[in-house]
Amino acid sequence: MVRVYVPIEAVVVIEFTAPNLREDTILLLEINHKMNMKNICILFTMMILSLVPGKAMSQEKEDMSFELNSLSGESVRVNLELDDVNEKIILKLNSKEMLCLDNYRGLDDEMKVLNNKFIMIHYKVRGGSDIKVRKTTLVCVADGKLHKALDIVSTMSHNIGDLKANGDESLKQSDECGLYTLKLVSLQHQGRGFLLTAVEHEMESSKADKQNNFEREDSVKMFFDDVNKVFYTKMITLNGRYMVEGESDSLRNFKNLLVPFISLNNEESVYIDKDWYYMEPGNRLAKVTD
């Protein structure tokens, strides 16, 4: 809502209220008496646009749906909501079954259904300063529930340009950049399961430290665990005592526990009790979060 008060003096008082602003904003706009109405309207429009946040001028929620088959072959419909305000992607199978992907900052590519069984979502997530992060998630339906079959960082890049400290050329830092990508290439049936093939690419480049520059590219094969409904690179056996860090830290003793294992982006993770955990030095398992 906008209310404009024009007193006798050449000052226009504008009270501006927008639903997405935290509080009403009162503005004083001094108008030169020589300005014509056209220029005043242009100035007024520019002021209004500068006040309205980007999200207020775009659609804050977008709903869509996907038809696919569950892993056992039943036809199902999954409703999906892109919630920009709360930074979530919400998938709903029905009123009681839903799955949330947090830290959502916008789609990175068009969503697709692979093999009529997996919804593939590429989306942006919050990174640090000069760091770009993208995630790829595959969602499937089994036993009346939604499952994150794959939930990985598919792109991470950093780019530090030439910087100067207090204008001192001697403190100038040279360009540094790094890039990691994981691109899904194919998804094929393999017996009763699936075989997911991806290409992993990593590059580091520095003008100041060229001896450590490198670039590599490897093919990665991931298999599907039909029990846990997740993709993995291999199965491993856990033995011994581990400090399991998560919602409630605990010391657990594992004996010949066979678990899915995945190694990507120089990080190793295991799947235990429906959650992924980073394997850290000192027999520590840290819960992977969004």
Tokens for 33? Answer: 């008496």
Quote the pLDDT of residue 2. Answer: 47
Q: How far does the chain reach from its first CA to its final CA, in angstroms? A: 38
Amino acid at 131: I
Per DSSP, the three-state class of 162 is coil
Of 148, 121, 150, 112, residue with least CA distance to 264: 150
User: Residue 252 in contact with residue 272, Cβ under 8 Å?
Assistant: no
Comparing CA positions, the residue from 151, 148, 115 lying closest to residue 134 is 151
Q: What is the structure's pLDDT at 110?
A: 94
pLDDT at site 92? 98
122: alpha, beta or left? (left if phi > 0; alpha if psi -120 to 50): beta
Q: How far apart are CA 213 and CA 205, in angstroms?
A: 5
Residues of the chain with confidence (pLDDT) below 70: 1-60, 160-174, 247
Question: Across the strands, what pairs with 186?
Answer: 197
Helix (H) or strand (E) run with residue 40 in it: helix 37-51
Q: Let me know if 241 is exposed, middle or buried by CB neighbors in 10 A (0-12, 13-18, 19+).
A: exposed
Residue 50 φ/ψ region, left for φ over 0, alpha for ψ in the -120 to 50 degree band, beta for the rest: alpha
SS3 109: coil
What distance in Å separates the CA atoms of residue 4 and residue 47, rounded to the nearest whole number? 13
Residue 61 confidence (pLDDT): 78
